[in-house]
Structure 1
Amino acid sequence: MPKLGMEPKRRADVINATLTCISVHGIDGMTLDKVAEYANCSKGVVTYYYKNKDNLTIEAFKSFLAYYGLKIDSEIENTMTAGNMIDVTLKHILPPYRDDTEKRVNVSQLDGIEKMFIPHEDQAKLFLQFFSKAVLDRNLQEVVSKSYLADLQGIAKIFDYGNRTGQMSVEDSQSAAYGLLAMVVGLSFFRVANIPPINGEDNRYICEDYVSRFLGRR
């Protein structure tokens, strides 16, 4: 049994280790023994908090998806324009490429949201692993469905705000949010598959162009 008072940190260490392990070995190659090794703890500690691999995978997926919402919410301020709010959202759900291979996966809030981080390459690998498994796994489908429905509501609220304040021209905020999120998911898959845009630019500009239509920047 883990030491008294260590539970939050141990849980966080195990989840971070699980995401790292999946990024390196894939979900099929992830084992409780390997997670324990990455977390620098015993297998007994892992199973104390997460009874089996399936349970651990689901909880890691929840933490992976929650990471994006937490980062976005921590940076959006009520004084921002609707355009700036969308910029913050896109910065996290479809981040610009950067060389951050020296940093480690951390989806724990224990040391503050500003310390949470997932390296660009790990994001791509985890995205591919989780979503490919979710195609046939109803439990993972439920996780992604709940997460994306919440994301759609959040993005739609930004479009509504932009419309209400005259900063945007949006006929249907729900459809606009659906289109943006669907575009992000598709472009994320294209990134993972190494399919570059025709002009060779970072493909996130496609989302920026989409948002520009509502801002009248075209």
Structure 2
Amino acid sequence: MPKLGMEPIRRAEVINATLTCISIYGIDGMTLDKVAEHADCSKGVVTYYFKNKDNLTVEAFKAFMAYYGQMIQAEIESTMTPAEMMDVTLKHILTPYRDDADKKINVSQLDGTENMYIPYEDQGRLFVQFFSKAAIDPTLQEVVSKSYMADLHGIAKIFDYGNKTGHMSVEDSPSAAYGLLAMVVGLSFFRVANIPPVNGEDNRYICEDYVNRFKGGSL
């Protein structure tokens, strides 16, 4: 049994190690032994918190999906305009390219949101691994559903706020949010498949153009 007071730290280390292993080896190649090695702990510590590989995979997926919402919430401020709020949202759900392969995965809030991080390439690999498994795993599908329903609600609220302040004109906020999130998911797959847009730019501009269509007023 881990030392008293170490539980949250050990859990976080195991989750981070699991995501690292999935990014490197894939879900099928991830093993409890490899996770223990990357977490610098015994296999017994891993199974103490997470009964088996399936349980560990689900919890790691939850942490991966929650990461984006946590990062968005940490940056959005009530004084921001709707456009600024949307910029923060897009920055995290469709990250601009960055050369950060030297950084490590950390989805734990124990040291503060400012220290949470998922490198650019890891985001793409984890996205494909988890979503390909979710296609045939009802438990993982439920994780996706809950996370995306929350995302849709949050994005729709920004569109509603834009309508209220006169900065945006959106007839159907839930549908507009649905379209934007569907676009993000599709563009994420295109990134992993290395399919660039026609003009060769970072494909996130497609989402920005979509949002700009709703802008008006003083923006």
- With the length of structure 2 as denominator, give the TM-score of the two structures: 0.98
CA distance in 2, matches of 1:167, 1:216: 5
CA distance in 2, matches of 1:143, 1:149: 10
Question: How many residues are aligned here?
Answer: 218
Match of 1:93 in 2: 93
Q: Is the 8 A contact 2:76 2:88 kept in 1?
A: yes
SS of alignment partner, residue 104 of structure 1: coil
Q: Counterpart of 1:208 in structure 2: which amino acid?
A: E
Q: Does 1:126 align with 2:97?
A: no
CA distance in 1, matches of 2:11, 2:27: 19
Q: Is the 8 A contact 2:166 2:216 kept in 1?
A: no
CA distance in 1, matches of 2:49, 2:109: 18
Q: Does 1:139 align with 2:139?
A: yes
The Cα of 1:30 is off from its aligned counterpart by 0.3
Q: Does 1:57 align with 2:50?
A: no
What whole-Å deviation, never above 9, does each CA across 1:119-163 have from its counterpart, x for those lacking one? 000000000000000000000000000000000000000000000
CA distance in 2, matches of 1:216, 1:191: 30
Question: 1:129-168 to 2 correspondence within 5 Å?
Answer: 129-168=129-168
Match of 1:117 in 2: 117
Match of 2:213 in 1: 213
Q: Is the 8 A contact 2:170 2:214 kept in 1?
A: yes
Match of 1:102 in 2: 102
Match of 1:190 in 2: 190
Match of 2:202 in 1: 202
Give the unaligned 5+ runs of structure 1: none
Match of 1:20 in 2: 20
Q: Is the 8 A contact 2:85 2:158 kept in 1?
A: yes
Q: Is the 8 A contact 2:36 2:43 kept in 1?
A: yes
Match of 1:11 in 2: 11
Q: After alignment, is 208-217 or 143-152 more displaced?
A: 208-217
CA distance in 2, matches of 1:134, 1:125: 14
Match of 1:45 in 2: 45
CA distance in 1, matches of 2:192, 2:119: 14
Give the unaligned 5+ runs of structure 2: none
Identity %: 80
SS of alignment partner, residue 146 of structure 1: helix
CA distance in 1, matches of 2:16, 2:145: 22
What whole-Å deviation, never above 9, does each CA across 1:85-114 have from its counterpart, x for those lacking one? 000000000010000011000000000001
CA distance in 1, matches of 2:38, 2:216: 49
CA distance in 1, matches of 2:99, 2:23: 17
Q: Is the 8 A contact 2:168 2:214 kept in 1?
A: yes
- With the length of structure 1 as denominator, give the TM-score of the two structures: 0.99
The Cα of 1:216 is off from its aligned counterpart by 3.6
What is the Cα-based RMSD across aligned positions, in Å?
1.0
Q: Counterpart of 1:196 in structure 2: which amino acid?
A: P
Q: Does 1:172 align with 2:172?
A: yes
